[in-house]
A and B are shown apart, each in its own frame.
Chain A
Amino acid sequence: MSQILIQGLLLSGLYALIAIGFTLIFSVGRVLNLAYGAYLMLGGYAYFWVVQTMHMPKLLGILVAIGVGVLAGLLKHRLIVKPLKSDPVAVEIATLILAVVIQAGVVLVFNDSAKIMHPIVNGVWRVGGATVTYNILTATIASWVILIGLYYFVRKTHVGRAISAVSMDVKGAAISGINPDRINMITWGLSGALGAIAGVFFASYTQLSPSMWVAPLIIAVAVVIVGGIGSIIGTLIVAHIIGFMEIISTTLVAAELRGVFTMLLIIVVLVMMPKGLFGRGEL
């Protein structure tokens, strides 16, 4: 029981971090960035290359991963989203294709075998019959810190409030002196950074492989669909619903069910509650 509680909390924290960058883009641009999972993959591989191939410090690995994520996000905005004028269907098709192309690129550079990433933080912690690796604990704490930071950024800074303003009313934002295009660009960069850092933690929790972008993308889509147009709080809540469902189903039913419930949940919510559980347009 305590095992489920602890594992659930840890996994859910990571899922919230995975989903938040995707939610951000959906809130601001009303498009699903289906290449979002590829940010995680790029972040994971960038970290792997710096730390395990080049034997450089882990902190540098994380910074390079973030840099790659920001760059990927900005390029995507400049080369895909802007020319397509944020037309959701066109952007979704283009980003899905991009994800597959990035996967091919990763196979080309790193080959297609899965790679084990060393834990970012070594060691285990035993609490009440459960064992927790410091690695996942760090990931969860980092998620919470990032999410709380993002929450304050969105509420308390000019640029953060502008992101929120564009997500609620583009015209209202424009007549407040905000350039929505610029905010969109910043959001894509920020989303790339969040995805990449989530990718480092996700890869250290699972493993690196060229198909690793699919599972986090499904988690992120589920969070947006179940949570409705994303808020940071809503993202946290839904990430916990999904995280706990997964832990419960894999420990009590069968490990093969990993991910299945998440997908079922997406379909059930789409059918029953088209606006999601928390269908509001806030951040």
Chain B
Amino acid sequence: MALLEIDNLSAFYGRAQSLHNVSFNVGKGEIVAVIGTNGAGKSTLMDSIMGMVKNTGAIRLEGQDLIGFDSSEIVKRGVGYAPERAHLFPFMTVEDNLLVGGYTARDDIGRNLAHVHELFPVLKQRATQETATQSGGERQMVSVGRALMTSPRLLLVDEPTIGLSPKVCSEIAATLKRLNEEDGLTILITEQNINFAMSLATRVHVLETGHLRISGTPQELAADDALNKAYFGG
């Protein structure tokens, strides 16, 4: 059984439909990427998994349906989320942001915090800095760190590279890879940055205006002419 099964998922904001019968799975230990341009529905997909959008279809975590549960319950069941624009607590310190992430996984706080500090040593140095005053890259690290504080079995990362320098992007990529390889963490990321997604993921899905168009391994997609035309301009 896949860790995450998305089955015929549609998403609605009022009358507007942003996802149309999307289906795919994320196996345990995989890194799966969903790529798509602005407005394709990537954030909607992530928010749907977190129970923040009106949906039809099914989203299952280890076979258990998530639709209809509160975000807080979904977090408890093992989904960690680093959303677009981070949604950090701006006037709290880095340390307090991370501690809030430990709200549900209280027994793991010591271990998780040490692990986050090991992955992102800069967050330990900046422990008492308010996140409002941090750089975009550090904020992204706090965001991923806060998600890890929930002791997730599945980590969702929505466009982690948006607005970041290539150097910071590759740092984030290395950390996600490390989380996957060393801790066996299952990761679902969305990206507009195709190269970033291709370098990281074992499977890639292409989302276009709410429809899942193409799926495959990075190698298969790189060989796909239509896709290359659309996304690499050549």
Residues of A participating in the B interface, judged by any CB pair closer than 8 Å? 155, 158, 161-162, 164-165, 168-169, 171-179, 280-282
Contacts and interface: CB of A to CB of B under 8 A. Distances in A.
A172 B83 CA distance: 8
A178 to B, nearest CB: 5
Contact of A158 (B89, B92, B103): B103
B91 interface: yes
Contacts of B100: 161-162, 165, 172-173, 176, 178
Contacts of B50: 174-175
Given A158-B106, A161-B96, A178 B72 contact: yes
19 contacts: A158-B103, A161-B99, A165-B92, A169-B90, A172-B83, A172-B87, A172-B100, A174-B72, A175-B50, A175-B71, A176-B75, A176-B104, A176-B146, A176-B149, A177-B71, A177-B76, A177-B105, A177-B150, A282-B92
Interface string B117-156: 0000000000000000000000000000011011000000
Contacts of B89: 164-165, 168-169, 172-173
A155 B91 CA distance: 12
A181 B65 CA distance: 22
Given A174-B71, A176-B75, 19 more contacts: A161-B99, A162-B100, A162-B103, A164-B89, A168-B89, A168-B90, A171-B52, A171-B87, A172-B100, A173-B100, A175-B147, A176-B100, A176-B103, A177-B75, A177-B150, A178-B103, A179-B70, A179-B72, A282-B91
Given A158-B103, A161-B99, A169-B87, A175 B92 contact: no
B52 A174 contact: yes
| Secondary structure of the B contact surface, majority rule | loop
A186 to B, nearest CB: 13
Contacts of A171: 52, 83, 87
B91 A175 contact: no
A175 B100 CA distance: 10
Interface string B69-104: 011100110000101001111111000100111111
A179 B70 CA distance: 8
A175 B83 contact: yes
Nearest to A231: B91
A162 to B, nearest CB: 6
Contacts of A174: 50, 52, 70-72
A175 B87 contact: yes
Contacts of B103: 158, 161-162, 176-178
B149 to A, nearest CB: 8
Nearest 6 pairs of A and B residues by beta carbon: A177-B104, A172-B87, A282-B91, A177-B75, A174-B71, A168-B89
A158 B103 CA distance: 6
A281 B89 CA distance: 9
B72 A172 contact: no
Nearest to B105: A177
B91 A281 contact: yes
Given A158-B103, A176-B75, A177-B103, A164 B92 contact: yes
From A155, A169, A282, residue with most partner B Cβ within 10 Å: A169
Contacts of A280: 91
A175 B101 CA distance: 8
A176 B101 contact: yes
Given A158-B106, A162-B103, A172 B71 contact: no
From A158, A177, A178, A280, residue with most partner B Cβ within 10 Å: A177
Given A161-B100, A165-B92, A169-B87, A175 B106 contact: no
A282 to B, nearest CB: 4
Contacts of A177: 71-72, 75-76, 101, 103-105, 150
Nearest to A182: B72
A171 B89 CA distance: 10
Contacts of A164: 89, 92, 96
Contact of B75 (A162, A175, A282): A175
Contacts of A155: 96
A165 B70 CA distance: 17
A32 to B, nearest CB: 21
Contacts of A162: 100, 103
Contacts of B83: 171-172, 175
A162 B92 CA distance: 11
Nearest to B96: A161
Nearest to A158: B103
Nearest to A281: B91
B88 A172 contact: yes
Contact of A175 (B81, B99, B105): B81
Contacts of B76: 177
From B87, B100, B106, B146, residue with most partner A Cβ within 10 Å: B100
From A165, A168, A169, A172, residue with most partner B Cβ within 10 Å: A172
